[in-house]
Structure 1
């Protein structure tokens, strides 16, 4: 096997940014914040990417956790919330692990064309490079991996790297589809998840909430939903089915911002596809809940009306729901 040795910092610079450029200087990684993010992520109150920084996704996650635990809703790590999080303190904020050959070998899709017709020619819409794959596996961003490790860290088999602790508490999956099982493992999605009685997509809070049989809030995910051109379809819908690692049937006539309204193509599956690793179909035609190739934009960007989650959150939700589960979309 060809030995793969790449400098972490150099690979970060070579990675094409998928998010809008920051307009202000970004705060430094705070390990205390990262610790809170890691605990919330494991408990199912997803804070977005694990980057050791505050922001609206962390505030929303804290509010969800506080609601579920009958605490005063502040969106802050106040004394009562800290006490409720304390039993989980042994879930450390980071883990140090050796790199293996699989994640370094790819296959990668680099360069990844933006044109859907060109994407349709590829065998898969995979990650661009190893750092992007590692970042998604540990629910973070390439920049966070550089912040946790020296920029000259060599990405080679056996190199030990520091990652946000996104390791699942269980890998005892009850999944028969081998490809889907591999996806769950690669995204560090826990095998044990609560069962959803209903889900609520809340536009005002930019979150998707999961409730159990006792009407308890058991999980919450930051979400991107709709836009001015394609508003969230407010109403009561139903989950019709789930497609794992789906192909995407591109039809330009369904997109208001498409240049050519007569283009159609079938895009191959992959985490960098338009709907990511899973499509949860809804009774509203052409609408679904799905993953994204741009996890750092969740809750901040706009969509074409569908509900976008990070790939790892979408995969996690797919383990919670089934056909027939009600989905309420509220303003």
Structure 2
């Protein structure tokens, strides 16, 4: 998605409030590890199962419970392999929500707070009652509004598998700056493109070597439709969410978010958007703020695994913004250092609809 550069001198931005190591958040689950290496065998789920899927929570009484076999995916609330296999109905629901856009964050086929909050927001916006139940009426409403298939096939290209790739980031900014902020692998690049965990991507495509072009893979049919006409953004620090509204008060989009911490809280009250910078550099300047990252100025180059991801929405509170993330699995589950962090694809979608002067309310 192409974003118009509207922030002056955006190729180099000092983002001092957002680049410290994530504060400890012991009450939140840690993100999962990388997916296992490719292996042959049956797919965890098939496209046909997903297309016909109904979330287990909405299944008819007496329906078989979900499998308890370990799956190559990790849930929103888990720290290791998921206790249950991905639910094909939840994959379907998450893809449909992603296209509304009431974002569930990463598509993984597993229940978690991000998905439940997206359900609750969608139900309320569409007069489907309150609560976060993934019932048959919700799925029917989503499927009636969007009749397109939720899964599709994609053939990997030479561009997908071409580098340069960067090693996994360490906690040291200078090391990240030297190593670069590109994706770590073709599989990570494809997982982000299709809003899915690497683990589930591999599980849907067992035996596929994502380093090779010409591989036909099964992926979610996401759309990446940009928002338009955002007039107000509400950041809910308790819910960990960002909502975008138009001038009439209509809810345009809902996104799970990581928002500050007790040590470094997000702003309070009302600020405004001052501009948008796609593909920003990140600059640590000890003259402005220190987070135990040394006494030297460090510039981390632009890239999807930059500390602020692929886009920066600048706010009128100095050094604060709404931005992307190098690790979408952490969104809504860990603390940040004051800024509002979304998945890269959600941040890009939101950024496309804002302009200077848009009101941002922190509640």
TM-score computed with the length of structure 2 as normaliser: 0.75
Matched-pair contact (CA < 8 Å) for 1:35–1:92: no
Report the alpha carbon displacement of residue 229 of structure 1 after superposing the two structures with TM: 0.9
Find 1:312's aligned residue among 345, 349, 355: 345
Residues in 1 aligned to 2:168 and 2:265: alpha-carbon distance in whole angstroms: 32
**1: CA distance between counterparts of 2:85 and 2:146?**
22
Aligned length: 293
Shift of 1:302: 0.6
1:77 and 2:77 are equivalent in the alignment:
no
Structure 1 position 214 matched with structure 2 position 269: no
Distance 1:66 1:86 in 2: 14
Quote how far apart the aligned CAs of 1:20 are.
10
Contact between 1:223 and 1:307, CA under 8 Å: does it hold in 2? yes
Q: Are the aligned partners of 2:271 and 2:317 in contact in 1 as well (CA < 8 Å)? A: yes
Structure with a larger share of its residues in helix: 1
1:186 corresponding residue in structure 2: none
1:140 aligned to which of 185, 188, 196 = 196
Q: CA deviation at 1:160?
A: 0.7
Provide closer, same or farther for how the CA distance between residues 146 and 73 of structure 1 changes in structure 2, counting only shifts above 3 A: same
Are residue 278 (structure 1) and residue 311 (structure 2) matched? yes
Change (3 A) 1:26 1:251: farther
Q: Which residue of 2 aligns with 1:190?
A: 225
CA distance in structure 1 between the partners assigned to 2:218 and 2:291 by the alignment? 41
- Residues 138 and 118 of structure 1: is their aligned pair in 2 closer, same or farther, counting only changes over 3 Å? same
Give the corresponding residue for 2:360. 327
| Equivalent pair of 2:181/2:304 in contact (CA under 8 Å) | yes
**Could you tell me how far 1:162 is from its partner in structure 2?**
1.0
Aligned to 1:117: 174
Note the C-alpha offset of 1:112.
4.0
Query: Structure 1's 256 and 312: CA in aligned 2 closer, same or farther, altered over 3 A?
Result: same
Aligned partners of 2:77 and 2:245: how far apart in 1?
33
Q: Secondary structure at the match of 1:238?
A: strand
Aligned-partner Cα distance in 2 for 1:257–1:86: 47
> How far apart are the structure 2 equivalents of 1:63 and 1:21?
21
The offset of 1:29, in angstroms, is 1.3
Structure 2, gaps ≥5 residues long: 1-34, 40-73
Q: Distance in 1 between matches of 2:38 and 2:167?
A: 12
Match of residue 289 from structure 1: 322
Alignment RMSD, CA only?
Answer: 2.3
Task: Give the TM-score, by structure 1 length.
Answer: 0.82
The Cα shift of 1:165 comes to 2.0
Equivalent residue number for residue 173 of structure 1: none
1:1-331 aligned at under 5 Å gives the runs 10=37, 22=79, 25-88=82-145, 90-110=147-167, 112-122=169-179, 124-150=180-206, 152-155=207-210, 156-166=212-222, 168=223, 189-191=224-226, 193-252=227-286, 257-260=291-294, 262-330=295-363
- Give the conservation status (yes or no) of the 8 Å contact 1:63–1:74: yes
CA contact (8 A) 2:96 2:143 kept: no
Please state how far the C-alpha of 1:82 moved relative to its aligned partner. 2.8
CA distance in 1, matches of 2:150, 2:114: 18
Q: Secondary structure at the match of 2:132?
A: coil
User: Helix, strand or coil for the counterpart of 1:239?
Assistant: strand
State the alpha-carbon separation in 2 of the partners of residues 98 and 162 from structure 1.
Answer: 9
Kindly provide the CA deviation profile for residues 207-254 of structure 1, in whole angstroms up to 9, marking residues without a partner as x: 100111210111100000000110121110000001110011113576
Q: Distance in 2 between matches of 1:132 and 1:216?
A: 35
Contact 1:252 1:258 in 2 (8 A): no
